[in-house]
Amino acid sequence: MNAENTRLHLLAQHERLREHLQTCTRLAKLHRASQSIGSEFDRAIEVLREELAAHNETETTVVRELLRGPAAWVSLLIDRMFEEHVAEHAAFWELLSGPRAEIAARIDDLADEFDAHMAAEERTFLAPATLRDDVLRAPAREERPE
């Protein structure tokens, strides 16, 4: 997979995650209003977890492979990206864990936080000017002796 295909794939995953978050948020509101939709809410949360896991897998495998190259900044970018993502994704899993009532109570916060996370990725790492084969494969500048 090349950089552009990977970028588009990740952006499509973001859209699916946003759709699943909207569904979960809507169902959580109904659940909090004591409507009988518990199993439907549980299934929606499970689908969200599955999509999130697939997205995380793509980021940690395909993107890492794409970023390997001669550019000097690549290893720093990889290290920084995964440092941030490990912490953020752990926090998202925490919000998606526990009893149904607890998840329903905090799903709005999760939706806001995860949307901000995806928007930040889209502005930086997934920006068309950043995730490009010609940028990722650019030769590293030679270090000048001091």
- CA distances 47 to 34, 100, 115, 118, Å, are 22, 14, 17, 18
Alpha helices in the chain (DSSP H): 3-32, 38-58, 64-67, 74-95, 100-123, 133-136
pLDDT at 89: 80
pLDDT in tens, 98-138: 999 999 999 999 999 999 989 988 998 788 887 777 766 65
| 66 pLDDT tier (thresholds 50, 70, 90) | low
Mean pLDDT computed over every residue of the chain:
83
Residue bearing the bigger pLDDT, 20 or 126: 20
- CA distances 121 to 26, 128, 133, 146, Å, are 25, 11, 18, 36
- CA distances 61 to 10, 68, 87, 106, Å, are 12, 11, 17, 30
CA distance 60 to 47: 20
